[in-house]
Structure 1
Amino acid sequence: MKKALLILISAMLALALLAGCITQDTGGQTNRQGSGDDQKQIITCRYVLPGSAPTDIDVVEPMINEAMQKAGVNVELKREYIPWEAWEQKTNMYLSTGEVFDLLNVMNDIIPISSYVSRGALADITDIMNQYGSNILATNPDIMMDAVKVNNRIYGIPAFWVEFSHSPEMTIRLDILRKYNLPVPKNMEELTETFEIVMSKWEGPEKPYIPIIGAQTTKFGLAQKGYDSWPFWVYDNFIYVNQHGMVANYFETEEFKQDCKWARLWYQKGLIHPDVLVFKSDQLNAQLDSGNWFIHAGTIGSIDNIKKNYPDITVDDFAFLNFNPEKPNLRPYGTRNMNAVPKSSKNPEAGVMFINWLYANQENYDLYMYGREGIDYEKTGARTRKVLLKEGQSVPAYFADDWMIGNIKYLRTSETTPTATIEMLYTIDTTAVNSIAASFTYDASDVMAELANVRTEIQASIAPIACGVVDYETELPKALEKLKAAGMDKVINEYKTQFEAFRKK
């Protein structure tokens, strides 16, 4: 009897030990091996994002998961990269078929978050954010959180990686000014005169035309901050909104007329490329990288490539031109980039918990965004880094994109980023004014056909006017007729209707 009892107890112990060693993966949940207080349930966060995975993601991702779980965040991150050319098609398929995943990268300028919500594709994470998102809420001002709300409910997690209140953007080369013994221009008239002098004295076969892609140009807005009507903004390249709530076709405004006046003057003076309408993006990038430019309507991310032709150039050889410092900058957007939880997620809290961990401290952010210190990057200052490359590589073996999920509080700029760029993009502008449309997202799903036709017509009829190639007075009336035939009025009226409803909430 005792022998039989001992056999029975031994068998039961064996079964118990065997059960304790089994792990399960159901519904996105994984039970860690162990028992009692040591046993913890790990939930999966399947994160779908565009682009290509970094080479060493399989090495660094387990390090990220280990760090999260050591911090008590029982989430296992699994990223799935979808090539850019297949992004919209595949994510739309995932959302329409109920594919189970937990976090989706959203680019508001491609498909707005309101469009996803109207399709019933996203989960309302308001309560989850209040429970698990304390760091997210602490690192994002109200304008950022408002940008991810629909009907006052939270449907996304903002990527507050850059300060948007920096337009009109004008970066000027101080080394060129010193070379020709010229002062920094204080207004558009002085800039025009200075540019003419630089152009006449420029050495080398490649002239320093202002780098713009004519076919994509809808506004030549360098002087906009000096207009009496400032502040205002042009959304989607053609919808004018001022701080009084006026919505209009930008091409019918006085501001567009003034912009075209400057563009025409610069084109006639030879400051805009004579073949600007066929100038391509690869040509623009090559011009910026070569250093064959004097004034740029944008910012410069790194001086690495410029140094090949200008070896003595430094990060302090650039300045941001602000011709009207007495006027506030306008912040047109809360954020254009965010991440959302699909309604199909079995663990809707997983994505919030992961990003909340990411924003907890600099160490977490550095690991996820920049990888292994000493292998993928080196810290060169409190908020700067040096990118480390393996032989034959143009990008680190591991990195993540700040624009997808980053936060300005923790972002590290490259040590080769111009000081002017850091001041413009990565420093919060405490004096900026938020646009009254900053938190509004236009849902164009009901006018998609008209919108496509309008954009095509803008490129054909407006771009030559906007970059100064043809005369405003002669060509604009014909262009406006074509835009109306394409459906411009319907697109603008739909925007007005939605915007007025938004303002009443």
Structure 2
Amino acid sequence: MRRSLYVGLVVLFAVGLAFAVRYGMQEDEGTGGASQQPVTTALQPATLKLLFPLEEPAAQKEVLQAVEAKLAKDGLPIKLDITYIPYDQYWNKVWLIAASGESYDIALSAYSNIADYVSKKVLAPLDTALRDHGQAIVESTPDYAFQGVTIGGQIYGIPRVMPISEFQSFVQIRGDLRKKYGLPEIKTVADMDLYLETMHKYEPAITPYFYDTGRFLLREYGDVAFLAGGYLNAPVYIDPADPQLRVRNTYESDFFRSIMQKMHEWQDKGYVPYGPSDTSRYPDPELAFNSGKVAATWSVVLKQTERIDAFKAMNPDGELENVYLHPEKPKYLFTGADNILSVFSTSQHVNESVAFLNWLRSSQENYDLFTYGIKDVNYTLTPDGAIDYDGIPPEKQYMPISWTWNDIRYVRFSKYISPAYRGELRNWDKEATASPTLGFVPDLSPIKSEIAQLNVIITEYLPLLYDAKGDWAATMGSFRVKLKDAGINHVIAEIQKQFDSFRAARKDVRS
């Protein structure tokens, strides 16, 4: 990550908290100046309880034993207890834990919900713990990434360090099938139309496109920064190309209608099942894609690297391609963070939690152990340092959800990822264009009741609007009325006020 691309963005830490974290200083009450004496808090022996989505990976027990042995060797009195929750239940479980006060420590949060979590006091601020026990985290995390987890001047999570510009603007296709029929690389929606049409016509046993709701289409119809949520679940957005930088209603936008029209067209042509996020056809969408039943599916910037080994195990001669539309257009850095590891406000081990995550980010050895397991037991390395599972029994192939803590400095790519593509990913943000929204995280506490009502309405109506068999006009009319009654205009006004203050503060510091 080249911080020089984002010179001046650190002004969002003008409150001074991040400065205190970075330099380990405290305010001298007698002089009003910064003292050079850091305040440190001793670590206590602790068993940290981590909450992650999905399923426990193979060989988890033996890997955690090795991790705990290394932690002890490094002087950290920490043990780990990880609970896994099915993804469709995970976010509700986070709320239940926060409400009940259950003794959990570290959990996955996300840029799309961190403001909501903070407004409802689910998460603990980490400034003091980072100052005392997070030196490696602070030194390795770009300032703009910290901005993505800073609300009200306090830091509420440890963002993963990864390619972040336009990181969700992808769809995954079968590169081998594209080449089989002599199709061009997909750079426009017209190219995607041709690919799906060809799959539908010549590969009747394969569903052309499944389990994706068209996020990648924003590169064609309107690339925007979503606020107070993620993608079309977010009620409001800002277009970085808008000279006025107005906060606007997602569901009154041209891009929303265009995406819906394209999804309806693909459903009517048989490319996409009706209700594109309905998993009844394939209860396990990932398995459906990896086993060759689907020709295009959802992706993010690093997803190809994460699914390639499972895919190649089922399709030794198959190829994956990450599709990124209109590479000639600006590659926006909308936000500084996506997946985040946060600490529950009810945790009794905030310092120890940060110390553990700091240990993880302190060296290649530590990162490899927690992320890939025990070398030559759970994985091997190729001469150029790529991950290789050949000869490793399936029950020993440790593949945890490392997308919650990626650190691009230490990531080891699969041997099936070419050196050229590895280099492209490591330098993905090099030519990024900083969006005016970068670093802005709205404080939802003044509008938390409205946001809660809007989320209920959006969750109810979006599946209906995606379904081409529905009555679009009637459903949309009812949707907009309910959004208005729930206070979407108040939400727009409040977030606009906050964004204007954010911009003014940045200009004041720069001047």
TM range (shorter): 0.7 to 0.9
Equivalent AA in structure 2 for residue 312 of structure 1 = D
**How many angstroms does 1:435 deviate by?**
3.7
Bigger drift between 364-373 and 82-91 goes to 82-91
Equivalent AA in structure 2 for residue 411 of structure 1 = V
In structure 2, the CA distance between the partners of 1:111 and 1:279, relative to structure 1 (3 Å rule), is: closer
In structure 2, the CA distance between the partners of 1:201 and 1:445, relative to structure 1 (3 Å rule), is: same
In structure 2, the CA distance between the partners of 1:182 and 1:155, relative to structure 1 (3 Å rule), is: closer
Equivalent-residue separation in structure 1 for 2:201 and 2:57 (angstroms): 45
Match in the other structure for 1:401: 401
Where in structure 2 are the equivalents of 1:82-97 lying within 5 Å? 83=85, 85=89, 86-94=93-101
Match in the other structure for 1:375: 377
Structure 1 gap segments, 5+ residues each: 1-40
| Paired residue secondary structure (2:283) | helix
**How many angstroms does 1:252 deviate by?**
0.5
Instruction: Check whether the contact 1:211–1:287 (CA below 8 A) recurs between aligned residues.
Output: no
Query: Which deviations, in whole Å up to 9, do the C-alpha atoms of 1:125-170 show, x marking residues without a partner?
Result: 4344244323212221111111222222333322225535234313
In structure 2, the CA distance between the partners of 1:495 and 1:179, relative to structure 1 (3 Å rule), is: same
1:67 equivalent to 2:70? Answer: yes
Match in the other structure for 2:320: 318
Bigger drift between 479-488 and 412-421 goes to 412-421
**How many angstroms does 1:292 deviate by?**
3.2
Equivalent AA in structure 1 for residue 96 of structure 2 = Q
Equivalent AA in structure 1 for residue 78 of structure 2 = E
Match in the other structure for 2:210: 211
In structure 2, the CA distance between the partners of 1:180 and 1:438, relative to structure 1 (3 Å rule), is: same
In structure 2, the CA distance between the partners of 1:452 and 1:479, relative to structure 1 (3 Å rule), is: closer
Equivalent-residue separation in structure 2 for 1:305 and 1:65 (angstroms): 28
1:177 equivalent to 2:178? Answer: yes
Query: Which deviations, in whole Å up to 9, do the C-alpha atoms of 1:296-332 show, x marking residues without a partner?
Result: 342443345545764422xxx3333344222222233
**How many angstroms does 1:268 deviate by?**
3.7
In structure 2, the CA distance between the partners of 1:428 and 1:326, relative to structure 1 (3 Å rule), is: closer
**How many angstroms does 1:482 deviate by?**
4.3
| Paired residue secondary structure (1:79) | strand
**How many angstroms does 1:60 deviate by?**
3.9
Equivalent-residue separation in structure 1 for 2:122 and 2:388 (angstroms): 43
In structure 2, the CA distance between the partners of 1:253 and 1:142, relative to structure 1 (3 Å rule), is: same
**How many angstroms does 1:288 deviate by?**
0.9
Where in structure 2 are the equivalents of 1:15-54 lying within 5 Å? 43-51=44-52
Match in the other structure for 2:238: 241
Equivalent AA in structure 2 for residue 451 of structure 1 = L
Match in the other structure for 1:129: 130
**How many angstroms does 1:251 deviate by?**
1.6
Among 446, 449, 461, the alignment partner of 1:446 is 449
| Paired residue secondary structure (1:333) | coil
In structure 2, the CA distance between the partners of 1:94 and 1:164, relative to structure 1 (3 Å rule), is: farther
In structure 2, the CA distance between the partners of 1:356 and 1:221, relative to structure 1 (3 Å rule), is: closer
**How many angstroms does 1:82 deviate by?**
6.2
**How many angstroms does 1:419 deviate by?**
8.0
Query: Which deviations, in whole Å up to 9, do the C-alpha atoms of 1:227-259 show, x marking residues without a partner?
Result: 4x5454474324222124322221201222322
Equivalent AA in structure 1 for residue 100 of structure 2 = M
In structure 2, the CA distance between the partners of 1:388 and 1:451, relative to structure 1 (3 Å rule), is: farther
Equivalent-residue separation in structure 2 for 1:495 and 1:148 (angstroms): 17
Structure 2 gap segments, 5+ residues each: 1-41, 506-511
Equivalent-residue separation in structure 2 for 1:66 and 1:463 (angstroms): 50
Query: Which deviations, in whole Å up to 9, do the C-alpha atoms of 1:88-124 show, x marking residues without a partner?
Result: 32343237xxx5x7x422413575266347638524x
Equivalent-residue separation in structure 2 for 1:278 and 1:346 (angstroms): 40
Equivalent-residue separation in structure 1 for 2:264 and 2:184 (angstroms): 25
| Paired residue secondary structure (2:101) | helix
| Paired residue secondary structure (1:282) | coil
User: Could you tell me the TM-score, scaled by structure 1's length?
Assistant: 0.73
| Paired residue secondary structure (1:246) | coil
Instruction: Check whether the contact 1:156–1:341 (CA below 8 A) recurs between aligned residues.
Output: yes
Equivalent-residue separation in structure 2 for 1:278 and 1:500 (angstroms): 39
Equivalent-residue separation in structure 2 for 1:496 and 1:312 (angstroms): 51
Equivalent-residue separation in structure 1 for 2:63 and 2:269 (angstroms): 53
**How many angstroms does 1:193 deviate by?**
3.2
Where in structure 2 are the equivalents of 1:274-285 lying within 5 Å? 274=274, 276=276, 278-280=278-280, 282=283, 284-285=285-286
| Paired residue secondary structure (2:367) | helix
Equivalent AA in structure 2 for residue 477 of structure 1 = G
**How many angstroms does 1:74 deviate by?**
3.6
| Paired residue secondary structure (1:256) | helix
Equivalent-residue separation in structure 1 for 2:271 and 2:189 (angstroms): 13
Equivalent-residue separation in structure 2 for 1:438 and 1:491 (angstroms): 20
Equivalent-residue separation in structure 2 for 1:375 and 1:168 (angstroms): 36
Equivalent-residue separation in structure 2 for 1:278 and 1:154 (angstroms): 36
Equivalent AA in structure 2 for residue 248 of structure 1 = R
Equivalent-residue separation in structure 1 for 2:115 and 2:424 (angstroms): 27
Instruction: Check whether the contact 1:45–1:350 (CA below 8 A) recurs between aligned residues.
Output: yes
**How many angstroms does 1:383 deviate by?**
5.0
Query: Which deviations, in whole Å up to 9, do the C-alpha atoms of 1:266-314 show, x marking residues without a partner?
Result: 334332235647543625334312323333342443345545764422x
Q: Which has the larger radius of gyration?
A: 1
Equivalent AA in structure 1 for residue 317 of structure 2 = D
User: Could you tell me the TM-score, scaled by structure 2's length?
Assistant: 0.72
1:339 equivalent to 2:341? Answer: yes
Instruction: Check whether the contact 2:108–2:342 (CA below 8 A) recurs between aligned residues.
Output: yes
Match in the other structure for 1:302: 307
Among 80, 88, 112, the alignment partner of 2:114 is 112
Instruction: Check whether the contact 1:128–1:352 (CA below 8 A) recurs between aligned residues.
Output: yes
Query: Which deviations, in whole Å up to 9, do the C-alpha atoms of 1:473-500 show, x marking residues without a partner?
Result: 6753344234434554455455445544
Where in structure 2 are the equivalents of 1:420-499 lying within 5 Å? 428-442=428-442, 443=444, 445-447=448-450, 449-464=452-467, 468-469=468-469, 476-485=476-485, 487-499=487-499
Equivalent-residue separation in structure 2 for 1:250 and 1:392 (angstroms): 45
In structure 2, the CA distance between the partners of 1:55 and 1:170, relative to structure 1 (3 Å rule), is: closer
1:263 equivalent to 2:263? Answer: yes
In structure 2, the CA distance between the partners of 1:194 and 1:471, relative to structure 1 (3 Å rule), is: farther
Equivalent-residue separation in structure 2 for 1:291 and 1:352 (angstroms): 41
Match in the other structure for 2:150: 149
Bigger drift between 373-382 and 485-494 goes to 485-494
In structure 2, the CA distance between the partners of 1:246 and 1:422, relative to structure 1 (3 Å rule), is: farther
Equivalent-residue separation in structure 1 for 2:182 and 2:390 (angstroms): 37
Instruction: Check whether the contact 2:111–2:340 (CA below 8 A) recurs between aligned residues.
Output: no
Equivalent-residue separation in structure 1 for 2:60 and 2:472 (angstroms): 52
Identity %, equivalent residues: 21
In structure 2, the CA distance between the partners of 1:459 and 1:191, relative to structure 1 (3 Å rule), is: closer
| Paired residue secondary structure (2:44) | strand
Instruction: Check whether the contact 2:336–2:439 (CA below 8 A) recurs between aligned residues.
Output: yes
